[in-house]
Amino acid sequence: MTPKFCSNCGAELISGMEVCLKCHTPVIPPGAGKKEYPKDTPENRARKMKEYKVIVFDEVADSAGKGKYDKTRLETTLNTLGLEGWSLKKTRMRQIPGLVSSTIEHIMIFERDMPLEP
C-alpha cells in the first residue's frame, strides 16, 4: 500500500507509481524497512565499499529552446545530498523531443562510502 499524498509537495499520488509526478520525490511505502548495511569490521573498512544513488531532474524546453526547471529544488537536493556525504560522480543530459516542447533530463550519479553498522 502506497501513501496517498507526496511527503515532499503534498500532491496526490497515483497508485503503483514509484515517484511523485509533480516533484519526482521517490514514494516510500509505509513501514518500508531500513537499509541494511555491512557490519563495521576491519575487513569491511579495508574494502572501502561504495554506495550509489541516481537522481533525474526534468527540464521542459519550449519552442525557443529555453528550459524551465525548479532551480531551488535542484539546489536543495544537491545540498542535502552533500550533507549526507554524497558526492557527484557523473552527470549526463538527454533530450526527449516532443510535439510542442522537448524535455531535457539531467541524470546525476552520486557516490559515497557505504555506512557501516557498529
Structure confidence by residue, pLDDT tens digits, 55-89: 887 776 655 555 566 778 788 888 888 888 899 99
Instruction: Enter the pTM of the model.
Output: 0.56
* Paired strand residues for 52: 111
pLDDT of residue 34: 61
Residue 114 has pLDDT above 70, yes or no: yes
Return the higher-pLDDT residue of 23 and 3: 23
Question: ∠ at Cα 101 (97, 102), nearest 5°?
Answer: 35
Choose among 35, 26, 29, 37: nearest CA to 2: 29
* pLDDT given for residue 111 in this prediction: 93
* Higher-pLDDT residue of 41, 18: 41
DSSP-assigned letter for residue 40? -
Sequence ranges of the domains in the chain = 1-30, 42-113
Query: What does the pLDDT look like over 22-57, one tens digit per residue?
Result: 777 777 665 555 677 777 778 877 777 888 888 887
Residue 59: all three cell numbers together: 527540464
Number of Cβ within 10 Å of residue 31's Cβ equals 6
| 51 CB neighbour count, 10 Å cutoff | 14
User: Is residue 85 within 8 Å of residue 111, measured between CB atoms?
Assistant: no
Q: Which has the higher per-residue pLDDT, 73 or 112? A: 112
